[in-house]
Structure 1
Amino acid sequence: MGNADTKLNFRKAVVQLTSKTQPVEANDDDFWDQFWSETVTNVQDVFALVPGAEIRALREESPNNLATLVYKAVEKLVKIVDSSCRTQREQQTALNCARLLTRIIPYMLEDPEWHGFFWSSLPAAAENESIPLAQSLVNAVCDLLFCPDFTVTSTKRSGPERAEELSSLDSCEYIWAGGVGFARSPPRVATHDAARTDLLRLLLAAASETIYVPPQQAHSHHNKWIAYLTSPENRHALPLFTSLLNTVCSYDPVGLGLPYNHLLFSDTLEPLVEVALQILIVTLDHDTSNSANQDSDEQSLPDNLFINYLSRIHRDEDFYFILRGVTRLLNNPLAQTYLPNSAKKVMLHQELLVLFWKMCDYNKKFMYYVLKSSDVLEVLVPILYHLNDSRADQCFSSDSRSTSAESVAETPMEGSHPAQPAEPGTLNATLPETPGYKSMHLLREPQCAIAAMTERESAHPPTQPTITSSDQLLPQRDGGDGADRAEDSADDKQDTRAVVRRDSMRLTSSGNERRPSEGSGGREGGTAPGGWKASAEWVSSWRAKLPLQTIMRLLQVLVPQVEKICIDKGLTDESEILRFLQHGTLVGLLPVPHPILIRKYQANAGTAAWFRTYMWGVIYIRNVDPPIWYDTNVKLFEIQRV
């Protein structure tokens, strides 16, 4: 009954704030203290008692009250840090402030006009101590993440009167778990794990400014929250990074292996590992070394110390610790037991693979260590398992490589935005695989390439890799290897020849402009947006650069044969022509297959934007308890609600 009364009092305070039409004075501490009183003791209550619709209404109708609420919550956290968070009441108040801010901040970030609010100075700060609100919040949260007897175990005598001053505390002595750069393994305390989780959720919510940026701007967006968290200005950057990495890599969900132990005891470490892993991949995705801040007047960005520290790990024992930790969690869903569901399963493979990718990307020594290690199969097997599992879930076609190439071929002409330099890098990534395609259906690939080439004046470069892939595919499937190869690829030839004959002739005819039906989306006269129209001179300017020799030889052989059979037999049915092509052969006619051209992956703005979108999509889906971003206006990707 008492618990219901405290929730009712908290709810009354929320209603009172949202119903006020006049600004509430910032010095009315009795009113504001209702929101972080120690009576509300879990994050689920905060999310339930503060509806999203009321936060939006407060933002639109009483923006001063919303600003004051956030300012007072941050101010309360700063004051608790200044007093070193010595009492249990202060600790509970700090957690309630963090939970309330976690609930409110996403609704503020969805409105671009509020982004600058967090980087304005505190009203009460002196001119010589002017600190943006966001920096004050990050500083306070990082201090609390290494607060003895609150989030870490004290190494000195306990008691409020003997508490260490947080402002002068050396957080490197309080790293959360043993591993990289820290040999000692501190004792685990469930309440410390829960407090760290709530505080890290707040940092993750603040860093989610990225998901409220349109995808066209995602690759150039500078996230100031992440930049400051990982900058030299944050004195806890090194111990925080080490704590996050060691917490993830030392986590063993099975433990001693007692059957059904996960049903008997609650695991307070799993939520902490999940949010720590998400913070890691989000911060490691913010690489400022080769980019300039396009959102501000600054010419350079501060170094990302998380990336710097990761790249400098070099000891074999550290590599072993990281690799064993990652593979342990990757292989966890694959583990088989005699008793059904007797072992705990964690599904963190998507975030783990992102982390593994980042580690190999930023630390080449680690990548070479993995490749030389006997445990490399411990990485490969779960990757193949999850690829196959995802393939079944998403109803992929029988050949995933064919599907990927066809979908990539369509990329340049999908959407309303001009093709960016992402397409060549993305398409090049599929080219090394093309000689190995077994059943690729090219009905759509040439169509997509040709339509995209004539879509805009600058659209033809991204489609050249598609033509190159066809140039590589045809000799490999039909050239110089005997009748077996030709027979195996009959289905491929029937699709390829019919489509190439129909569509590639548009490229070889130098005089005609596009008709409205030829990939122009019905625009009159084949005119693209802006008034540009494809012409013979424009086609001639780039046609000679395309590798069309194999395709042209294919047409020179097949077109006369198809025309002759149509005239002799009076064929009007396309199925008869396809049957003729299916049983034909081109052995000896096409060039001898040339050596496979290997192209390595090249990072570019387009793939980086896709990577970031995928990563935040995973994080969005994972955070359902509490639902941090549910019902907010996400712009980075589309939310489909059933």
Structure 2
Amino acid sequence: SSLGYDPIGWGMPYGNLVATDTAKLVMESAVHALIILLDYGHPIRTEEAAAIAAAGDAESALPSVNAHDTDAQGFNVFRRLLGQVEAPDQLNFVYKGFVRLLNNVHQSESTYLPYSITRIGIEQELLILFWKCLEEMPKFLPYIMKHCDVTEIFVPICYFMLEGRKDPSKVGLMYLCTFTLLKLSGERSFGVALNKPYQLSLPVDVPLFSGNHADLLVIVLHKLIVSGLEKLSALYSCFLTIICNVSPYCKSFGSAAAVKLVNLLQLFVSPRFLYAAEGNHVYVGMLLETLNNIVQYQYEGNGHVVYSIIRRKEVFEALANLTLPSAIKGARDLLDKKAAAAMKAASNARVATTISATGSADDTVDLYADATPTGLISTANVERRVGNSGDVEDMRTPASPQPGTANAAAATAGEASGRFLPSEAWLQSVKADLPLNTILRLLKHLVPQVEEIASKNVGVDEKIVIDFLRSTTMVGLLPVPHPIVIRKYQPNRFTCLWFTAFQWGVIFMHNQTVPLFDGKHVKLFLVQTVA
């Protein structure tokens, strides 16, 4: 009932308007019931409830259970039966069911006749069920990676992320899609599968490009970072981890994706991001690792990426030549801009308060401003898997001269005031962590040759330069290829609790037309008054 439903049916346009689709209603109820049954008595969730109860925080604890009940120890017969699904035909049925139902969402928006195909309205619940299948069925993920076209499930996930990137009500869906992509990106076969040519057209504002599904991944995540909600900033590390995980296996990035990759690096190197917090250079490190993977393992087919690196050579050179005075100046400028923006906001707030006092406006409070679990990602466990072992050259940059008294005093004052200002220790840590050596060697060898081609041919075509880059070899010129590092998602108590809260919120909101719940006894959140 959950995955056997076909929303197209006999293919008759507007068939849903002729007769009531009872099978759809059964499918929705079956999916809701199944994800609830699979979540009940989850071992990590039960352990967290016990820990909270032991700490004495009774109001925050989950509902108590009998200590002698097998469910309280994490046993769940439904999860056990789901984990025993191993037959290839059964695994194929499950995967094809998810593909058919999740692709229905964007297919229903791409028809020549508007609303001629029934759109299912439970894509969030289906993604939760798909996640539970990945977690509870040991044979499911290896099967779809080996025997199925994983891009069939990848495309609708990208569509959901693009469609909901500016909708505050879909922040939970964005987290769910990100976790799913992070889980899939930990598999080598997923990165290889993204080399399949992309020939679809999604009904969202994606720039036209010719390339593969890896291009789509970069374009989608670039849009989420550049034009997504501010609440998505907690997911930036996951976005970059996904790109980094698949980068060693992507044979060819198109022009659009290559430019956006380097644009992301330029964005995170800018003072607005780099000096916003002490650990923000980690984002830069992940992007540099991504570019290193492409250059070291897939150089021949990625002329567009190499050309984009050469065109933005000043970004890499400035990062390599970063000094403490310039870092402090950039951080101070950022703090000044933030202070000016805060003063302007306070001034506007005083004006609004004055207008409100005269009875012209009402005060409103956003009760859902902090509903997103922004600390979720930072607490997740990450497994680092190393393959293709080889010697890696020392990438440390020579230490910069000792800072002057004024610079040291400025850094100390910044720390004392709770605002981040770069220090000598921070600068040395950044230079040690950023893998710039490979890119700098690439630029040292290729930039003079590209400039020579440009000087000989006025108005040289980009295609000529890219063909030249593809015909060259960097063997013996770059450092020994570094090991491939795959960062795999690992379940933890925080994500488990978040999934439980998210799924109940989705189910509760979906069943409001004919109330399934008595609202008097449902508590989705607790409001505490602070004196």
**TM-score where L is the length of structure 2:** 0.50
- TM-score (norm. length: structure 1): 0.43
Task: Point out which structure has higher relative CO (alpha carbons under 8 A, 6+ apart).
Answer: 2
The structure number with the bigger radius of gyration is 1
